[in-house]
A and B are shown apart, each in its own frame.
Chain A
Amino acid sequence: RKEVEQDPGPFNVPEGATVAFNCTYSNSASQSFFWYRQDCRKEPKLLMSVYSSGNEDGRFTAQLNRASQYISLLIRDSKLSDSATYLCVVSNTGNQFYFGTGTSLTVIP
């Protein structure tokens, strides 16, 4: 079973739409959770860490459900510049980080 699983998409949404991405992880002992975005052929860039209580940063909201081993990212009022691949990243008790395959988002004018 993969450490981190994501729906690869692609998600094609109109500007202004709300879109949600999901991610599941297999190791119940996982400690830290992140969403990164990756533009084509560029390095991953941190979008936000995911905290147990859920957290919001502007148009972006992340949720963690430890019981279901599930992480989500909600993007409200999508902009063209949000088009990218969104990577779910999970780390265990050591310094080992697992990336999902990424979910591709295209925001259409």
Chain B
Amino acid sequence: EPEVTQTPSHQVTQMGQEVILRCVPISNHLYFYWYRQILGQKVEFLVSFYNNEISEKSEIFDDQFSVERPDGSNFTLKIRSTKLEDSAMYFCASEGAGQPQHFGDGTRLSIL
């Protein structure tokens, strides 16, 4: 069964540094998402992406965050200047037409 893959599985970064989280969605999917889950808390929507542009974003997704699909396969989330409170599990998901979302395994981001 096709899968959403995310790399790295764990990223440790100093506060203030930039970090890029990578995702390879399922190949024929059209909609792409990023979510985060702070330890012990609920999954929170960050952003959805369709047709090479952001279609929705939450209030969490401020100017520090950006997304890109640079080469038609990877879907990246960049955090420009990380803060301690950015520590969380970040999940990528993709969705085909008329299908539910499939999630990747997640990247655990630890900010020191």
Interface residues of A, Cβ cutoff 8 Å to B: 34, 38, 41-46, 49, 87, 94-102
Interface centre among B50, B89, B91, B101 (most CB of A within 10 A): B101
Question: In the complex the two chains form, is A94's CB within 8 Å of B56's CB?
Answer: yes
- Are A99 and B44 in contact, with the CB atoms below 8 A? yes
A96 touches B43 (CB 8 A): no
Q: Are A94 and B55 in contact (CB under 8 A)?
A: yes
Partner of B106, one of A43, A94, A100, A102: A43
Residues A102 and B55 in contact, CB atoms below 8 Å apart: no
Alpha-carbon distance between A46 and B93 when the two chains are bound, in angstroms: 11
Residues of B within 8 A of A (CB): 31, 33, 35, 41-45, 48, 50, 55-56, 58, 89, 91, 100-106
Known: A43-B91, A43-B103, A46-B101. A96 touches B42 (CB 8 A): no
Do B41 and A45 have beta carbons less than 8 Å apart? Answer: no
A100 contacts B42, C-beta separation under 8 Å: yes
Query: Which of B45, B58, B91 has the most C-beta atoms of chain A within 10 angstroms of its own C-beta?
Result: B45
Indicate if the CB atoms of B100 and A97 lie closer than 8 Å: no
Q: How far is the CA of A38 from the CA of B48 in the complex (A)?
A: 21
Q: How far is the CA of A41 from the CA of B88 in the complex (A)?
A: 11
Known: A44-B91, A101-B41. A95 touches B100 (CB 8 A): no
Chain B contacts for A98, CB-based, 8 A:
45
Cβ of A42 and Cβ of B45 under 8 Å apart? Answer: no
- A42-B106, A97-B33, A98-B45 provided; 19 other pairs, C-beta below 8 A? A38-B43, A43-B91, A43-B103, A43-B105, A44-B43, A44-B103, A45-B103, A46-B102, A49-B100, A87-B43, A95-B33, A96-B45, A97-B48, A99-B42, A99-B43, A99-B45, A101-B41, A101-B42, A102-B42
Complex: A45 Cα to B1 Cα, angstroms: 14
